[in-house]
Amino acid sequence: MAQACYDSFDFDPHSKYCGTCKYHGPYFFEKLGMADRGYTLNRYLYATSNINLPNFFQKSKMSSIWSQHANWMGYVAVATDEEEIWRLGRRDIVIAWRGTVTYLEWIHDLKDILHPAHFRDDPSIKIESGFFDLYTTKEKSCKYCSFSARQQVLAELRRIIHRYRGENLSITITGHSLGAALALLSAYDIAEMKLNVIDDGLDFITKIPITVFSFVGPRVGNLKFKERCDELGIKVLRIINVHDKVPSVPGIIANEKFQYQKYIEEKISFPWSYAHVGVELALDHTHSPFLKNTNDIRCAHNLEAHLHLLDGYHGKCKEFRLASERDIALVNKSCDFLKDEYGVLPYWWQDEHKGMVKTSDGRWVLPERPLIEAHPPDTAHHFEQVIKYARAKLELI
């Protein structure tokens, strides 16, 4: 689900649609060859590029473009296939956040400044300011960013939960790289706002489980943030490659491995203290017989490479053996990581003719794409209900 964000994103600066999703919503999974997954796309997510992460956002070089301020950031989908629901034992809601395939310069944009979360009346819970801004900033002059990414997620989740009220539900959030940071941040927000707490009014309260699958994500917040996520019951699996440096930032000086982290946070208010959340699954690309022994950090960070490593992982010190029929050629979609003997071209993933089509008069053009709905008309209503419900729950504490 996280890889779908990359496969559908328009990275081409020569396209006026650069920064959007290439596929119209109703055909999203079909175009990606994922129609058999049993999920239906509910909505796309957008964020404003008017924040201090210039190396993350993709912008077109064309004079006429789809938006001056927005970038497509991911999607929300729901399990609708009855067999899939039966297999899972519940109706799953997926939130997938876009990250960066191999482009790591955004790391240098991080201010390494902790910002109070503001989702709870506890200023000691802090989040890296760049992630916080990306998640909460909106741009009223842009129809795609008139609601922040946060407002979009919470409103859509509230709509879905309300629609399927009475069913067994689960919330799965995933992302790679910077997308993993947004996955954890949104999971915390959902739990803090009690959006996953269902009260039937008869003293019977159920909690929708929240699970995060984080692929080589950076640290997001301080130790207090980590402790609060644990307290809220958020389950996080962090998949990393031991040769990737992204999970080591921010918080190089003070982090969860530092014996006195709690002391320096609480007693001297050390401002650069960060902690990872959840359980770590550490993979090593040198264990795969299919991959080159390279020091290229772009390869070490690649999501398809991580999915390949997961496929072959059977436990610590166990032999690397592919467990499924997952094609090893997928590794080279956007990098040059497979050994040459397998005959797979590097950087081979692209649309046919790069999306160009031939018109009836013999000209090659980039076709117009269908108008994308910015936000469902009831987004404001559902977000207001989220805030109202959270305040009511807070008053009962």
What CATH number should be reported for the domain holding residue 107? Answer: 3.40.50.1820
From 8, 177, 186, 334, active-site residue: 177
Question: How confident is the model over 77-102, as pLDDT tens digits?
Answer: 999 999 999 999 999 999 999 997 65
Question: Does residue 81 fall inside a structural domain?
Answer: yes
* 377 located within any domain: yes
- Helices and strands per DSSP (H, E), number in the chain: 11, 13
Residue 291 DSSP class = B
Catalytic residue, from 301, 308, 375, 382: name it: 301
Distance between CA 90 and CA 82 in Å, rounded? 10
| 36 is annotated as an active-site residue | no
Number of domains making up the chain: 1
* Residue 162 annotated among the catalytic residues of the structure: no
In terms of residue numbers, what domain contains 231? Answer: 2-283+351-396
Query: What is the pLDDT confidence band of residue 103, given thresholds at 50, 70 and 90?
Result: low
**CA–CA gap between residue 122 and residue 305 (Å, rounded):** 39
CA 176 to CA 184: how far, in whole Å?
11
The amino acid at residue 373 is E
Q: pLDDT tens for residues 124-153?
A: 999 999 999 999 999 999 999 999 999 999
Residue 177 among the catalytic residues: yes
| 331-355 pLDDT per residue, tens | 999 999 999 999 999 999 998 998 8
Q: Which of 133, 189, 244, 334 does the annotation list as catalytic? A: 244
What is the rounded distance in angstroms from the CA atom of residue 397 to the CA atom of residue 381? Answer: 25
Q: To 5 degrees, how large is the angle CA 111–CA 112–CA 113? A: 85
Per residue in 39-80, pLDDT (tens digit) is 999 999 999 876 777 777 888 888 778 888 899 999 999 999
Q: Prior bond to 250 cis, omega within 30?
A: yes
Residue 306 is assigned to a structural domain of this protein: no
Query: Domain for residue 103, yes or no?
Result: yes
Q: Is residue 302 part of a domain?
A: no
| Residue 255 pLDDT | 92
Residue 154 in domain: yes
**Residue 311 in domain:** no
